[in-house]
Structure 1
Amino acid sequence: MLRFAVPPGRLVDLLPVAVGEGAGWELAAGDALTPSTALNPRRRPDAAGRFGLTVDLPKPGAATWLDLDGERIALVTTRGRRAAGMSKRQRFVDFELLPSRFGLAVLALADDLAVRPDLDGVAVGREGGLAVSSVMQRAETALAEAGAPAIDPEAWARGRSGNLRAVLRSQFAAAAAAPPGERGPLRVAHARTLIAAGLDLEGLTALETAAADDPLVAMQRETSLWRGLALLRAGRLAEARAALGGDVLQRDSEAVLWRSVAEAGLGLWREAETGFGRTLNLAGRLPEDLRDFVLAAAAESAIESGDIDAAVSRMDAAAKRDPLVRDRLALVKGRVEELTGQTVAALDRYERLEVAAAAPVAAAAGLRRTLLALGTAKMSSGEALARLERLALTWRGGPTEEAIIAGLARSYATAGRFREAFATTRRAAMAFPASEMARVLNGEAQSLFDALYLGGRGDALPGVEAVALYFDFKEFAPIGRRGDEVVRRLADRLVGLDLLDSAADLLQHQIDHRLTGQARAAVAARLATVRLMDGKPLQALEAIDATHLPELPADLRRARALVRARALSDLSRTDLALETIEDESGPDVARLRADILWAARRWRGPARRTRRCWARSGAAPNPSTRPPAPM
């Protein structure tokens, strides 16, 4: 462990970086640094009613206990790309949360304090529970007591039996013949029959027509719930979630249940699981087909949240009469087998579902089979990549497409197809801008970009490809000092390709907008060198003079002096060029003086200095290397 005093007036930052094939940390100091994402502790009671505390920390590592000056401190770092830490010290009875930049630091005040990293957070507790009354937690909205269900099983069954065509015609005619003030409820009854019969879009149209004609109908709870159900069954999940989340339905238990189904379909697993935990008991009051529809979504939510027991119990509670529900629950069963180590059984189930299940389940099963077979070395990376590419072409929408894109981007990166990896990550950000998966992929793309241009992974890339890759995907370039170093290395590649103007433009932007102090002076020397190579000595001289500082390290000052002298010589200002390096010495300086004098056609000086260089090197003069005699 390294401990040091922070200089006054300076901010210190700690960033994860790629070091060769592994990972490391970089300590940076500056006047302005990017703030961390603030972590917020919250209370969480266990089954026995004892209180613990959790902190949502993305991708937590293992807990490490340190003994510092007699105090026990638990450290948990995060593997997330974005810095996350405690913005200020927080004191509790049994422990303290210390200010941190990249993870969590817990100062134990009780001997039996336990700090346990979880999948997406850190739990702090004691065997007998914590005294955490000082933790502020936003109270959950209390749900209203569930009354009569808006979707009654008996009415639902009546809408699905008998001569449906005659019933619908009769209801439509009654609504059309009724006076305007009585037409709204009749249209709603007609809409319910349509939705029960599976004509969801037609029922939605009837509901919206009734609500537009009658404001009282529009304000009714039942109208909103039936509209949300129709949107759900029609696959318009975002609209369903919005329709079921208004002020009227915010505390309605039945609305929360259906809203959780919509959130599960959108891949918002945490929100869905919270809603199911509060309202899933209401599913028993629904018609059987709707109950299975809800239980299938709840089982998917549980398995995605890592709760295998809840997934199994919800799966077992479903009647599984509907073929699509049966396929969805079979996929959940495969996920359970996969998570419990039954790889062969899971692969076999996925393969059967991929061939025989409905299209949404077949696509998800194909994805799970590919990823599991690749992870267990039962499928080659080339075959897996080809399968993922086919899936990306044949399936659109929902969490399945997100997972396909994520698997494709990671497979491309592993295969060294960096352009496709970055393009696929960009596609994920465009298709799912608010998705957690898109944010994770963006962080992985930034790490890959860092490894390519700073970690040595991209050394084998041809120069043209490396330059093109940077300019096509520079939104993934690291920020701060590491981003500046990427630009400087890229400028060197541009010079190697003889693209001197482009290299100079990159370095000029760094000088004008990014750098200060010694770093700016050093990059200015590189810019001046590029300008000289491009035959622009005046611009080289301007770059050196515009970044002059009185106090610079000796080696940097010397390098700038040599470049400045060369620029002055190319401008035919011989005496000023010689004066610039009169206090410098060394073989390179002697050769530069000879070049300056030679360019000025002062023949005696170059000949004398050339003989000195030969004498120092111990090499005999070669007549072919001597300058020609002056004419």
Structure 2
Amino acid sequence: MRLALAFTLAVLPGLAAAERVAVRAGDHPGHGRLVFDWPAPPAYGLDQQGEQVLLRFPPGTEFQLPRKLPRNLLAAVAEGEGIRLTLRPRATARHFRLGGRVVVDLLDPLAEPARQDARADSGPASRPAPKQEPRLKPGGAKPPMPAPGAGSGPVAAEIPPVRPHPARPADAPPAASPEPPRAEASRPEPPPAAPSPAVPPTAAAPSVAALPPASLPARLLAMPNRVPALQLPFAAGTGAALLRRGEEVLAVFDTAAAPDLVPLRGDPVFGGLRAEALPGATLLRLPLAAPAQLRARREAAGWVLEAVRTAAEAGPPGPVLATQAEAGPPPRLVLTAAAPGRVVPVTDPETGLPLLVGTLREGREAVPIGRRLPELDLPPTTLGVAVLARSDGIALQPGNGRFLLTASGGTRLALDVDVARADAGPTMTRSFELPTQPVPELLARLQSLQAGIAGAPPLGRMPQRRAAGETLLALGLPQEAQAMLLLGYAEDPRAGADPRYTALSAAAALLAGRLGETAALAAPGLAESDEAVLWRAALAAAQGDWRLAGPGFSATLPLLLAYPEPLRARLLPRAALALAESGDAAALGRLLAAAGPAAEGLALSRAILAETEGKAEEALAGYDAVAAGRDRQSRARAIRRAVELRLASGRMDAAQAAKTLEAVLFAWRGDAAELEARLRLAALRRESGNGRGALALLQETATMVPEHAAALQPALRDSFLAALADAPPLAAVALFDAYPALLPVDQRGEAAVQLLVERLVGLDLGDRAATLLRQAMEQASGVSRSALGLRLAALRLEEGDAAGTLAALAGSATADMPSAMQRDRAVLAARAEARLGRAAEAIAALRALGPAGGEALSQLLAEQADWAGAAAALDAHIGAALPASPAPLDDAQRRLLLRQASLLALAGDESGLAALRDAAGARMGEGPPAEAFRLLTVDPLRGLADLPRLQRELQLFRNLPSRLEALRAGASLTR
């Protein structure tokens, strides 16, 4: 009886079967270029020592250098915290920012300008020209002065220290200065300043020759602080004034005895200095790109000019020329100065209007903050005072310790000095000259400008049109400002080539909502300034790029708050929203506090700030209030943020959130916000179990915006997998057949197919499951392909198709399969070989696998009635599969032990049965497998005392077939 039971169990099938910075290079006419593609504007520095240029960037940066370097670059090597560039001899470097990118232009080397005596035209050579001193440069040749038009604009505002001049030879004439000679410290050569496009540096000789003869030459100084310096030997009592107009610095001296500038030729900083003779005065013009500037001081030998990179290097500003209005007709303003000089009238190079310049004989008084009135401007200066007269009734006169500014014809001279705007002036650099007067004065200024435009010739209107455009923009009238500036393009070809003019037109287009006309704001020709950063941030906010807009507004917040009220009212909501979306709560708090509670358009930003500070109820109340307003864009943003807040705080589940967002999906359409809302709605539908709805929404979105189809693919694949998991088996198969390309070719796609196959097999649709597996396997690659092929082979073997099993295994083999998968595939192949009648080859293959192939080998040996061999093979497998600890066994492990007991019983191995009973009997627990195991491993009958046990065994044997059938069918069993 025991042998029959063991045989029955032995022949049953086994129940327990199985994210750095890229650098781009290029060559352009006149220069080569390196572009460092940073994701956000970095802090960096540039040091040039001859042909060696060191770019310093934040530590921890890794660069991907280009294979082909520009023609003017011999080598580029990462060094420390930056990159060292080796330039071609006499090439020069120029750098600037362009959005998040850092651009380094390598200007072509040019020939040295011919050296000639500029005084030859003034008479016989009675005076020898100053002897040109040899220019020594450690590490390479001296870079030449660039010709007009070299590169794409003026040199950036980085002025490296100049190289020292060697000591004067013994035969050279002595210096005219009575002061002792300065120490000639070794200094590196700076890059040349870009000359003015109108007059090249080499054309300076005629200007000098036109001046009255001068006996003393200008002299370059070697300063201990390595700052480029120039000594102009003006006589004692000569007054001077300094101010910037565009890309030039004007130096005005109230004497006609100008120094000789010939010794400055070829100097990288002062070589472009040009002199113009005025009645009783001298005007010096130096091309110098902002924010570099000149500072001046009076010494015994004359005036000394020093070129500094930034205002910070210039040191603390000098005393401010205080202004005070005096009563009585005509209106007049007093500008206090300790030693005023003369007033020199100059033609303003930017507007063509009269510029009255008041010089100082000593001291450093200046006007650091420019001011605008309807009839005149007080531009900022670094020495002295200047008045840009827009009316014929303006006069500036020197007095005892003061300058007196008077006006006739009812012109107002009261200055509107706002404290916040004054604080922003010295620290924020400008690209435009936006007036800050009250609205009535702005309107009067606009009327005056329009009258001037009407009376000027067509080619002389551009400066006044630009000033009118700035006034209209300050009034918050961007459409009118752009229309005014567009008229200038039709009149004057210089308007389209003026970076400041085109950038101003682009700023007006930005506020007018014409984003397609704003390219000039990012053009490299626009001088880098805080104001340029501000308007580029406004452009990024209009495009929905909060990552760039937020830091830009945060860095230029004082400048924004200094704008006139109409313009500030247009920009504040954009800035507040950008700061809120970028998560800069500190800057947002400062903006809202400065704007005040009465400012319009800031309710949404206040609600976002409340949410950031953890005030959920206040934030929800604010969102609901904005959602009830009339601004469609703000309404859509408020509803979406309220939904997210309620979802995060548990006030709403994913299904409710999806339903709410679906109702307001069309509240705002046509930009990146709509695409973001659709993606979020699809994610909520997936979370709520509506994968098919998420898939349909994303397919509709891909049809609406085909340019974003590639970006939608990840969300489409996620929705497709969710739809496969949620749909019934047949509907899931139809969905797979309709969109097979959406199945991910990774483990997620493999898991989805495996789940769908199991559901089809459960419905006894093996053929359909096999077809699905074959289609998925053909699309997959790597380990996923091997795993799907293994499941297809197992399915073929269960259907009795041994040849199909081997074909599926052969068609899905890959080189990167894990070892466990390789063993499973080998076992499956051996079983298929046995089905094809090649039992010996199958047994040999399984023996080669060791314990991993023990279970399958035991099955094959049992089919050949080799009970002892089958028991030995299964015993090796049990030793590797069962845990050594006395922990309870699971159902599969108990069935494995029951099978081993049946094989030992068929082999007649009583000692093996006893050992198995002792080792695992206590761990079998209760249930049909445990009862069968005890029956097989019990001691044989030895007498009448064992008859009750025999009766129990007979009863168990009678019930065993029905219990086993129930076990095979998966029904629950009880004793």
Scaled by the length of structure 1, what TM-score is found?
0.56
2:581 paired residue number: 304
**Residue 336 of structure 1: aligned partner:** 609
Using the TM superposition, give the Cα deviation of residue 313 of structure 1 relative to its aligned residue in structure 2, in angstroms. Answer: 1.5
Matched, 1:463 2:729: yes
* Maintained 8 Å contact 1:565/1:581: yes
Residues 834 and 842 of structure 2 are in contact (CA less than 8 Å); yes or no, is this contact kept in structure 1? yes
Amino acid at match of 2:774: A
Aligned to 2:600: 326
Letter aligned with residue 692 of structure 2: R
Paired position in structure 2 for 1:358: 631
Mapping of residues 101-116 of structure 1, within 5 Å = none
Cross-structure match for 2:782: 514
- Structure 1 548/406 Cα, relative in aligned 2: closer, same or farther at 3 Å? closer
User: How many percent identity over aligned positions?
Assistant: 28
Do the aligned partners of 1:494 and 1:503 also contact (CA within 8 Å) in 2?
A: no
- Aligned AA (1:223): Y
Closer/same/farther in 2, CA of residues 362 and 87 from structure 1, 3 Å limit = same
What is the aligned partner in structure 2 of residue 251 from structure 1?
Answer: 528
Give the aligned residue type for 1:150: E
Q: What CA distance in whole angstroms lies between the structure 1 residues aligned with 2:727 and 2:458? A: 74
Separation in 1, partners of 2:484, 2:788: 69
1:557 aligned to 2:826?
A: yes
Counterpart of 2:625, as a letter, is: R
Partner SS state of residue 665, structure 2: helix
SS of corresponding position for 1:356: coil
Q: Deviations over 1:161-190 (max 9, x none)?
A: 8999xx99x999x59xx9764576687678
Aligned counterpart for 1:268 among listed residues 542, 545, 552: 545
The answer (yes or no) to whether the contact 2:604–2:626 under 8 Å persists in 1 is yes
Shift of 1:412: 1.5
1:287 equivalent in alignment to 2:564: yes
Q: Which residue of 681, 684, 694 maps to 1:408?
A: 681
Distance 1:514 1:302, change over 3 A: same
Is residue 771 of structure 2 the alignment partner of residue 505 of structure 1? no
Task: Confirm or deny that 1:374 pairs with 2:647.
Answer: yes
Q: How does 1:146-161 map to 2 (within 5 A)?
A: 146-147=429-430, 149-154=432-437
Q: In structure 1, what residue type is equivalent to 2:507?
A: L
- What is the rounded CA distance, in whole Å, between the counterparts of 1:427 and 1:37 in structure 2? 35
Between structures 1 and 2, the one with greater helix share: 1
Q: Is the contact made by 2:436 and 2:564 (CA closer than 8 Å) also made in structure 1?
A: yes
Instruction: Summarize deviations over 1:109-168 as a string: whole Å, max 9, x none.
Output: xxxxxxxxxxxxxxxxxxxxxxxx95449998487443573333459867768999xx99
> Does the 8 Å contact 1:188/1:207 carry over to 2?
yes
How far apart are the structure 1 equivalents of 2:707 and 2:779? 32
Task: Give the counterpart letter for 2:664 in structure 1.
Answer: L
- 1:113 corresponds to: none
Aligned 8 A contact 2:643 2:661 in 1 = yes
Q: Output the CA distance in 1 between the equivalents of 2:814 and 2:586.
A: 68
2: CA distance, partners of 1:395 / 1:186: 40
Secondary structure in 1 aligned to 2:536?
helix
The answer (yes or no) to whether the contact 1:525–1:544 under 8 Å persists in 2 is yes
- For 1:533 and 1:225, locate their aligned partners in 2 and report how far apart those are by CA, in whole Å: 75
Structure-1 residue corresponding to 2:217: none
**Alignment-mate amino acid for residue 827 of structure 2:** R
Q: Deviations over 1:292-335 (max 9, x none)?
A: 333333322333333323212211222677xxx613x1111111
Residues 430 and 529, structure 2, Cα contact 8 Å, conserved in 1 = no
Match of 2:499 among 198, 216, 221: 221
Q: CA deviation at 1:216?
A: 0.7
The reply on whether 1:420 has 2:687 as its aligned counterpart is no
User: How far apart are 1:356 and its partner, in Å?
Assistant: 2.5
- Contact kept? 2:538, 2:574, Cα under 8 Å: yes
- What CA distance in whole angstroms lies between the structure 1 residues aligned with 2:503 and 2:497? 11
Q: Does 1:389 align with 2:657?
A: no
User: For the structure 1 residues 135 and 545, does the alpha-carbon distance in structure 2 shift closer, same or farther, using more than 3 Å as the test?
Assistant: closer
| Contact 1:257 1:275 survives alignment (8 Å) | yes
Is the radius of gyration larger for structure 1 or structure 2? 2
RMSD: 5.6
The counterpart of 2:622, out of the listed 349, 353, 378, is: 349
- Report the CA distance shift for 1:546/1:308 in structure 2 as closer, same or farther (over 3 A): closer
Distance 2:670 2:814 in 1: 58
With over 3 angstroms needed to count, the CA separation of the structure-2 counterparts of 1:565 and 1:380, relative to structure 1, is closer
Contact kept in structure 2, 1:540 and 1:564, CA below 8 Å: no
Could you tell me how far apart the structure 2 residues matched to 1:299 and 1:548 are? 58
Taking the TM superposition and a 5 Å limit, the aligned residue runs for 1:161-180 are: none
| Structure 2 residue aligned with 1:21 | none
Q: How far off is 1:515 after superposition? A: 4.8
CA shift, 1:523, in A, is 4.9
Q: State the secondary structure of the residue aligned to 1:248.
A: coil
Distance in 1 between residues matched to 2:809 and 2:675, nearest whole Å? 51
Pairs within 5 Å for 1:183-222: 200=478, 204=482, 207-208=485-486, 210-211=488-489, 214-222=492-500
Between the aligned partners of 2:464 and 2:435, the Cα distance in structure 1 is 17
Question: How many angstroms does 1:537 deviate by?
Answer: 7.6
> Which residue identity is paired with 1:390?
A
Using the TM superposition, give the Cα deviation of residue 592 of structure 1 relative to its aligned residue in structure 2, in angstroms: 12
Structure 2: distance between partners of 1:553 and 1:464: 32
The structure with the greater share of residues assigned to strand is 2
User: Paired residues, what number?
Assistant: 457
